[in-house]
Amino acid sequence: MATDALLRLDKVSKHFAGGIVGLREIDLSIAEGEFLSLLGPSGCGKTTTLRVIAGFEAPSEGRILLDGKEITPLRAFDRPVNTVFQDYALFPHMSVAENVGFGLSLRKIAGAERRKRVAAALDMVGLADKINQRVQALSGGQRQRVALARAIVCEPRVLLLDEPLSALDAHLREQMQVELKRLQRELGTTFVMVTHDQTEALSISDRIVVMNKAAIEQIASPSELYDHPATTFVAGFIGTMNLLAAKLAGRNADGLQFLAGTLPLNLAADDAARLTPGDAATIGVRPEDILVSRERIENSVGVRVQSVVFHGRSLRVHLATDDQRNLMADIPRQAQPAAMTVGEQLFASLRPGAACPVLPA
């Protein structure tokens, strides 16, 4: 990856006035044609990373390389990079065609060539019939597409997108996620997208960079992040996770036996080789891996139902164990024991075979 990366950030740091650290030694290699998302809480440095790649912001330390050549000193206009901004930044008094063709005019591309490329870009985003409209007359989703067309018309090597779908309602947003992915596949262009919506990042990306406090926590594929979070922060940030304080009770050929209070957690032995019995760890358990039953089953603990939340496909049940620990369980519709009620006494156990990350205590 490091050698054939299209874009590489090499120990990039950014310090702002007043001692604010925007980025701390960011190392990142992005492959040609990849759809990469930057995901993390507000203020973690996602936009700053994009701005540094685009050339709107100079790093305080470190280098940016494209095709192995340093581009750190190049101005934004001279980089083969375009940006789709969160607020689209369209020119309201111009037509759709004028907005999309703007970057081409700056590059002295005019006449038939310009018309052809504007039409092709609008076709890609499904707006061919809106070419002569004022952007003021367009809906939010249509403006979003104009902003995309304006960015792809210059045929950038890298397209940067900062929260491109955040202004759209949930339904349109999901539809645009699918379209964005299709567009990226058809163009074969490298996309780097900022989002703080983990569902969006998981559904659309080849790889996700999870950021926290100006630094990278983990870079991995969506399924790898979901199943094997490397840190407690990632485990708590991606999806919903019970983070259970536990102690290693024993180990044998079958695996590791942890106890979270009185709840037995029997895991296949793999990445916790460093632990010896008595050691403390945090075990990440997905709500869908907690089984709930009316009868006492093997390796279960007594629990009391605290609340039941309807999630459509499943019920999210908040439980308190007999030793006063909180536990969330997601129970699929077809597996629900008839009408669970608050205060009811049940039994909970870990689904055998569940893959649970073993994290530092």
Ligand X SMILES: Nc1ncnc2c1ncn2[C@@H]1O[C@H](COP(=O)(O)OP(=O)(O)OP(=O)(O)O)[C@@H](O)[C@H]1O
Q: For the CA atoms of the chain, what is the radius of gyration?
A: 25
Residue 361: name the closest of 283, 287, 251, 262 by CA.
Answer: 283
Distance from CA of residue 126 to its chain's centroid? 26
**Beta strand 314-321 pairing with 300-310:** antiparallel
Site string for ligand X, 19-38 (x = CB under 6 A): -x-x----------------
The helix/strand/coil state of 16 is: strand
Q: Which two tokens stand for residue 301?
A: 């603990």
Which of Mg ion, ligand X, none binds 196 (CB below 5-8 Å, type-dependent)?
A: ligand X
Under the binding rule (CB under 5 A), the answer on residue 47 touching Mg ion is yes
- Shortest reach from residue 174's CB to ligand X, in Å: 20
- Taking the complex as a whole, the smallest distance from the CB of residue 210 to ligand X amounts, in Å, to 12
174-203 mask for ligand X (x: CB under 6 A)?
A: ----------------------x-------
Residue 79 C-beta-side C-alpha neighbours within 13 Å: 28
Region at 274 (left for phi over 0; alpha for psi -120 to 50; beta for the rest): alpha
Q: How far is the CB of 163 from ligand X (least distance, A)?
A: 7
CB 215 within 8 A of CB 48: no
43 binds, among ligand X, Mg ion, none (CB under 5 to 8 A by kind): ligand X
Residue 144 in contact with ligand X, rule: CB under 6 A: no
Site string for Mg ion, 67-106 (x = CB under 5 A): ----------------------------------------
| Residues touching Mg ion, count (CB under 5 A) | 1
> In the window 45-64, what residues touch ligand X (CB under 6 A)?
45-48
CA distance 88 to 91: 9
| Positions that interact with Mg ion (CB under 5 A) | 47
Question: Binding residues for ligand X, per CB under 6 A?
Answer: 16, 20, 22, 40, 42-48, 196
